[in-house]
Chains A and B, each alone.
Chain A
Amino acid sequence: KQEVTQIPAALSVPEGENLVLNCSFTDSAIYNLQWFRQDPGKGLTSLLLIQSSQREQTSGRLNASLDKSSGRSTLYIAASQPGDSATYLCATGANSKLTFGKGITLSVRP
């Protein structure tokens, strides 16, 4: 059974800092890995999806990497802004089902 872990549970950084959010998973037989953003009381917004054959994806200040063999993914956020404050979840995809980590709550201090 797939287990997805995100550590730490919370992170606070000053504005402008580059940061890396980590995600690990136990079963490397995945089709893809997706990063989401969740604002308090809101739904999930897809940020990036990496197919199992890919190593990374980029969108603006975000870059996500995937290392299937080691069961790891990272989300890199460049030049963080207060508006980046949210919970970031990673999820592995197999068939149609997503398995989520618990998320990392990021706070970017002005």
Chain B
Amino acid sequence: EPEVTQTPSHQVTQMGQEVILRCVPISNHLYFYWYRQILGQKVEFLVSFYNNEISEKSEIFDDQFSVERPDGSNFTLKIRSTKLEDSAMYFCASNWEGTDTQYFGPGTRLTVL
């Protein structure tokens, strides 16, 4: 069964460094999302992406964040200058046109030291 994949599973970085989290959505999906879950807290929406542009973004998704679909398969989240409070599990999700069910990847645990 097709699934969303994410790499790496765990990323450790120093505060102020740039990180890129990678996702490969399910191949025929057209809508892509990033969510994050700080330990012990709710899963929070960051951004949605369709037709090579951002559809919606939350107040969390400030100028330090960016998303890109560099080729036909990858969907990336970049954090330009990481802060301690960016430590969280980051989930990628996708769905295809005609359905609202979002399929989630296993997540990348980002630890900022």
Contacts and interface: CB of A to CB of B under 8 A. Distances in A.
A97 B106 CA distance: 19
A101 B43 CA distance: 8
A95 interface: yes
Contacts of A91: 43
A70 interface: no
B31 interface: yes
Given A44-B91, A96-B56, A102 B100 contact: no
Interface in B90-109: 91, 93, 100-107
B45 A98 contact: yes
Of the four ranges (under 10, 10 to 19, 20 to 34, 35 or more), the interface on chain A belongs to 20 to 34
Given A43-B91, A96-B33, A102 B41 contact: yes
B107 A43 contact: yes
A96 B31 contact: yes
Interface in A15-52: 31-32, 34, 36, 42-46, 49, 51
A61 B106 CA distance: 24
Interface of chain A, main secondary structure: strand
B100 A49 contact: yes
B31 A45 contact: no
B55 interface: yes
Nearest to B109: A41
Interface string A87-102: 0010101011111111
Nearest to B45: A97
A44 B56 contact: no
A76 B105 CA distance: 25
A96 B41 contact: no
Nearest to B49: A96
8 contacts: A4-B42, A32-B100, A43-B106, A44-B91, A46-B103, A96-B55, A97-B58, A100-B44
Given A44-B93, A97-B48, A97-B56, 12 more contacts: A31-B100, A34-B100, A42-B106, A43-B4, A44-B43, A44-B91, A49-B100, A96-B33, A96-B48, A96-B55, A98-B43, A100-B44
